[in-house]
Amino acid sequence: MTRIGVYPGTFDPVTLGHMDIIRRGAKLVDRLVIGVTTNPSKSPMFTLDERMEMVRREVADVAGEIHVVAFDSLLMDFAEREGAKVIVRGLRAVADFEYEYQMAGMNQQINPRVETVFLMADVALQPIASRLVKEIAMYGGNIAKFVTPAVREDVVARVEAIGRKGR
């Protein structure tokens, strides 16, 4: 039987922290489905299609069977559709844990057939958050320590495009 896991997120943009969890999560399952979604409480820098393409490009060389899929539904419904028995979530700090613990409890109530597995981000990558990467880039800061060179180019190009539109 194939062990399928889902790693959900907005990935706006995909960071080195995300990539760490993807690499490690892919070792735990036979197939890792990266679910790219839009969070209504966030205003994304990149469209859903752009984020999916970015994630596909970044995971192309990661070992394991990895699929990148868009979803716009309850996570547990998406996991069920994908045949997943595991939700993979990354943790950076205590604040993440409190939120993720609450979500895992709610998800368990919605669908007890799917377990949530938490992976601690690599210590060097723990402070990285997509929101902060975007903020640093918007103020002209160097984001090279937080994203791959290709993602850095994507973000810088988008920031420049936004800056031109705003003038």
Q: What is the pLDDT of residues 25-34, one digit of tens each?
A: 999 999 999 9
Annotated binding residue at 79? no
- The verdict on whether 42 is a catalytic residue reads yes
Phi then psi for 24, rounded to 5 degrees? -75, -40
Pair 87, 116: CB distance under 8 Å:
yes
**Structural domain tally of the chain?**
1
Residue 57 inside a domain? The answer is yes
- The verdict on whether 85 is a catalytic residue reads no
Q: Which of 51, 130, 134, 152 is catalytic?
A: 130
Q: Which of 24, 56, 92, 158 is catalytic?
A: 92
Q: What is the pLDDT of residues 127-157, one digit of tens each?
A: 889 999 999 999 999 999 999 999 999 999 9
| CATH code, domain with 40 | 3.40.50.620
The position carrying tokens 């705003």 is 166
Which pair of structure tokens corresponds to residue 101?
């613990």
- Residues spanned by the domain of 103: 4-123
C-alpha–C-alpha distance, residues 65 and 6, integer Å: 12
